[in-house]
């Protein structure tokens, strides 16, 4: 093997500290019983050992970074953003005191950090401007994918954004639409639940409650969340919480014997050994959750079993590890220990026969992420030094390792792609994230022990799509083999329909009998939307049919006498009026909420403006019969267009002001925003309608055989009657009945205009063509 003469540094910034005095200085460790402390410390300790193993493996590899040795320094964040930032800055600046054979160790190439998302946010946000790459093995907060805030952050585990999508897909798959969520009071929990909520709302799922917990919360806050769970009717709860934060709540739920809940988990606690006990299983049987990719690393086991305090007496935390594993304290030369209180090791002890889970390397997840992080940095350095991937033709350096800057390592990581010895393709997307892949884990009791059984998987594919595969027959639920249900209200049976409960989410409703003369032959029926759609499309079809009749018979006297251009304007506006109710259908969105009232206001303004133009034409035409009167010539086609456009533009301005006043996002029910603006829109249409009514009424007895004024009079009477009736109905109707009242008014008034003004003309054109003559149209009564 070639002698390695250069050295580059990789740093691990770990969750817990690695020497006893500082361990017990971390305040949060004192909040738990000893087993959870030991477990969390050993978890971090194994991460550090995997990193050391990976670096030593690379240093022995003649193909990867030949003649270059990787070094490392390990410091602790104590699970504190402040401590994490202090440690990272000391490492980056090189002021940390270290033990090194090199009198002047080189600057660090990258940080492998951090276990907690909140700590990673502090570290990555501070070191980003200095272009120092930070690669995390356990920070999954989706917020860290923001390349503007964290331009040098990478990770080897999937982002919570993908886990939130996976959990939402799971909820959709099993038809749960009424669920509760528990979040940790930190960036991991809050951002995770936010992403999950946004995803499940797309599927019509309602969140019953959001409970917030943290490992440092006083017991009364924990009890408040327990009470929230007890009072709720939900049967499915998602806990987007790290294991340490979740354990106090778990303990209390078991203590109060709260069962009958289907728990959903993230990868933060689903496979953790501490909750996976028989005592806790009684309350959490059948738990489902997602975990990252697992890998067997057989070469790691001999390394872990070779850990010994006698190799390097100053190695951090090794003596404590040895004492917990073997039950005795190793004594160093010159050290005095009270043998009455502590059992002293003989020096012949060994870990080779230990069956502790610490040495189980067959299903590694987080340690494998540490392994990939180390190798990613090593491959980036190799490609910078040798200007080619590992395994290519030459190993002649083209760059000096001491000349490489952190920015170059960061840029190389962004474009890096390599296949590791386990056959995995390692790379990062534009946000520094790896491709998403999760196993679906189910808690099952097998041979008296809690097992984590894989029952499916989730993988992201191209264009934001995903692949979800679930082996439902292999799942053991809390209800046995039957999939549990979680609904706020049961599905409405045949013969009933949904009725929304005011002040409740859309998932909560009453089932009321269908009205006389209507039927519901499907469960979960909401007949209102179907009726509105049918009537709207019918009206739009009749408007189009009438327009086609007018186009085909445009040269006939009846069409010419009714002012063709204004008739086309009116028919087009009626078509839009009939389509307006379609914006009231379905779950409201920001755009449909803004569109429904403004579209109604503008289209009806165009409609009534066209009717006003036709009314004025009738009046001026009658006055033109008097000698010397030039009114008809003064109100020609240009003036008619000006009337229609100007009246419509005024309404558009009112609607623009309305939209500027109300620009909030509405999710479950549309808020009209300014009630004054809404009534201003209605009032303006009403003013136009009253003017039309007055003019048409005055011209109703003009002596022509074909007098449009009387038809306009009838249409305006119907229009005004409908909307005058609508106002008290609108004010007194709650929830979706307000929508029903408004759609009824729109359709009724539109049909009134279409029937009163155009049906008589179509009757003559299609049924009585003998009356479609100039003599009959211009004749006197």
Domain ranges of the chain: 6-158+298-307+351-427, 160-291+436-474, 527-778
List pLDDT tens digits, range 108-160: 888 998 888 889 999 999 999 989 999 999 898 889 999 999 999 999 999 98
Averaged pLDDT of the chain: 81
290 phi, psi to nearest 5 deg: -115, 145
Q: What pLDDT, on the 0 to 100 scale, is given for residue 669?
A: 58
Q: Smallest Cα–Cα separation from 125: which of 107, 138, 105, 111?
A: 111
Say whether pLDDT at 651 is over 90: no
Position 57 pLDDT exceeds 90? yes
Q: How far is CA 705 from the centre of its chain?
A: 65
What is the reported pLDDT for 32?
A: 35
pLDDT at 100 over 70: no
> CB burial class (10 A; 0-12, 13-18, 19+) of residue 325?
middle
At the topology level of CATH, where does 6-158+298-307+351-427 sit?
Answer: Rossmann fold (3.40.50)
pLDDT tens for 560-591 read 777 788 888 888 988 988 888 888 776 667 77
Structure tokens, 701: 């007895």
Tokens at 163, concatenated = 């886990």
Question: 70 and 55 in contact (C-beta within 8 Å)?
Answer: yes
pLDDT tens-digit series, residues 424-474: 999 999 999 998 999 999 999 998 888 999 999 998 876 767 889 999 999
| Integer angstrom CA distances of residue 351 from 51, 367, 384 | 20, 20, 40
Q: DSSP class of residue 440?
A: E
Instruction: Write the pLDDT tens digit of every residue in 168-214.
Output: 999 999 999 999 999 999 888 999 999 999 999 988 899 999 999 99
Fold agreement (6-158+298-307+351-427, 160-291+436-474):
yes
Residue 170 pLDDT: 94
Q: For residue 742, what is the DSSP state?
A: H
Q: What is the pLDDT of residue 14?
A: 43
Q: How far apart are CA 34 and CA 39, in angstroms?
A: 9
List Cβ<8 Å contacts ≥24 apart for 54-60. 54/370, 54/371, 54/374, 54/375, 55/10, 55/374, 56/303, 57/299, 58/374, 58/375, 58/378, 59/4, 60/1
| CATH code at 160-291+436-474 | 3.40.50.2300
| 693 C-beta neighbours (distance < 10 Å), count | 20
CA dihedral 730, 733, 736, 742 (to 10 degrees): -20
pLDDT of residue 448: 86
Mean pLDDT, to the nearest integer, of 713-723? 85
CATH 2.40.50.140 fits 527-778, yes or no: no
- String of DSSP letters for 388-405: S-TTSS----SS-GGG--
Question: Which tens digit of pLDDT belongs to each residue from 398-407?
Answer: 888 888 889 9
Separation of alpha carbons 348 and 566, rounded Å? 105
Give residue 144's pLDDT. 94
With CA atoms as reference, report the closest residue to 596 among 530, 535, 513, 655. 655
């Amino acid at each position: 093997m070639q002698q390695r003469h250069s050295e580059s540094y990789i740093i691990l910034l770990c969750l817990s500290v690695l020497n006893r005095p500082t361990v017990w200085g971390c305040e949060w460790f004192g909040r738990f019983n000893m087993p959870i402390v030991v477990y969390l410390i050993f978890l971090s300790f194994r991460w550090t050992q995997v990193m050391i193993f990976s670096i030593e493996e690379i240093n022995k590899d003649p193909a990867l970074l030949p003649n270059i040795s990787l070094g490392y320094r390990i410091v602790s964040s104590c699970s504190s953003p402040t401590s994490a930032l202090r440690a990272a800055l000391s490492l980056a600046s090189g002021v940390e005191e270290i033990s090194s054979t090199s009198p002047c160790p080189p600057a660090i190439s990258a940080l492998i950090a951090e276990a907690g998302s909140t700590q990673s946010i502090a570290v990555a946000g501070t070191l980003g401007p200095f272009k120092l790459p930070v690669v995390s093995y356990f920070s999954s907060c989706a917020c860290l994918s923001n390349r503007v805030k964290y331009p040098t952050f990478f990770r080897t585990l999937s982002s919570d954004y993908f886990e939130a999508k996976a959990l939402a897909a799971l909820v959709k798959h099993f038809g749960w639409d009424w669920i509760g969520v528990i979040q940790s009071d930190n960036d991991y929990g809050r951002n995770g639940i936010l992403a999950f909520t946004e995803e499940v709302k797309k599927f019509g799922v309602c969140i019953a409650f959001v409970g917030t917990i943290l490992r440092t919360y006083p017991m009364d806050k924990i009890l408040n969340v327990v009470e929230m769970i007890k009072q709720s009717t939900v049967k499915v709860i998602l806990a987007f919480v790290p294991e340490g934060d979740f354990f106090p709540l778990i303990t209390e739920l078991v203590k109060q014997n709260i069962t009958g809940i289907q728990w959903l988990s993230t990868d933060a606690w689903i496979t953790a050994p501490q909750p996976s006990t028989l005592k806790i299983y009684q309350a959490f049987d059948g738990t489902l959750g997602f975990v990252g990719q697992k890998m067997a690393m057989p070469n790691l086991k001999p390394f872990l079993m070779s850990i010994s305090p006698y190799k390097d007496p100053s190695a951090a935390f090794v003596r404590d590890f040895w004492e917990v594993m073997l039950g005795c304290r190793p004594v160093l030369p010159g050290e005095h220990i009270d043998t009455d209180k502590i059992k002293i090791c003989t020096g012949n002890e060994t870990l080779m026969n230990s069956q502790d889970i610490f040495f189980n390397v067959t299903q590694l997840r987080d340690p494998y992420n540490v392994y990939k992080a180390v190798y990613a940095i090593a491959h980036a350095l190799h490609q910078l030094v040798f200007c080619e991937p590992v395994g290519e033709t030459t190993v002649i350096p083209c760059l000096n390792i001491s000349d490489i800057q952190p920015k170059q390592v960061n840029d190389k990581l962004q474009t890096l792609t390599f296949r590791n010895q386990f056959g995995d393709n390692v790379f990062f997307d534009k946000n520094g994230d790896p491709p998403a892949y999760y196993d679906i884990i189910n808690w099952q009791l097998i041979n008296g022990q809690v097992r984590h059984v894989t029952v499916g998987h989730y993988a992201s594919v191209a264009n934001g799509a995903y692949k979800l595969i679930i082996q439902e027959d292999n799942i053991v639920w809390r209800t046995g083999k039957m999939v549990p249900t979680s609904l706020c209200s049961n599905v409405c049976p045949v013969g009933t329909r949904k009725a929304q409960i005011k002040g409740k989410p859309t998932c909560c409703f009453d089932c009321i009998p269908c009205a006389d003369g209507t039927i519901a032959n499907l469960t979960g029926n909401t007949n209102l939307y179907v009726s509105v759609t049918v009537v709207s499309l019918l009206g739009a079809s009749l408007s189009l049919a009438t327009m086609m009749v007018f186009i085909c018979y445009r040269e006939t006297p009846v069409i010419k006498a009714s002012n063709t251009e204004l008739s086309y304007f009116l028919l087009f506006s009626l078509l839009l009026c009939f389509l307006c109710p379609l914006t009231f259908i379905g779950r409201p969105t920001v755009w449909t909420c803004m569109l429904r009232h403004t579209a109604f206001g503008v289209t009806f303004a165009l409609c009534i403006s066209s009717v006003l133009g036709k009314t004025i034409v009738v009046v001026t035409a009658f006055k033109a019969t008097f000698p010397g009167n030039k009114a008809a010539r003064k109100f020609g086609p240009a003036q008619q267009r000006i009337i229609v456009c100007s009246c419509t533009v005024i309404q558009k301005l009112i609607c623009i002001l309305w939209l500027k006043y109300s620009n909030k996002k509405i999710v479950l029910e549309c808020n009209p925003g300014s009630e004054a603006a809404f009534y201003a829109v209605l009032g303006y249409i009403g003013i136009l309608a009253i003017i039309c009514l007055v003019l048409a009424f005055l011209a109703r007895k003009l002596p022509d055989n074909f007098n449009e004024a009387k038809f306009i009079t009838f249409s305006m009477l119907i229009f005004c009657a409908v909307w005058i009736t609508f106002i008290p109905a609108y004010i007194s109707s709650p929830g979706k009945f307000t929508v029903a009242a408004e759609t009824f008014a729109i359709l009724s008034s539109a049909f009134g205009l279409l029937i009163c003004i155009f049906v008589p003309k179509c009757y003559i054109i299609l049924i009585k063509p003998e009356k479609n003559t100039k003599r009959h149209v211009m004749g006197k009564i």
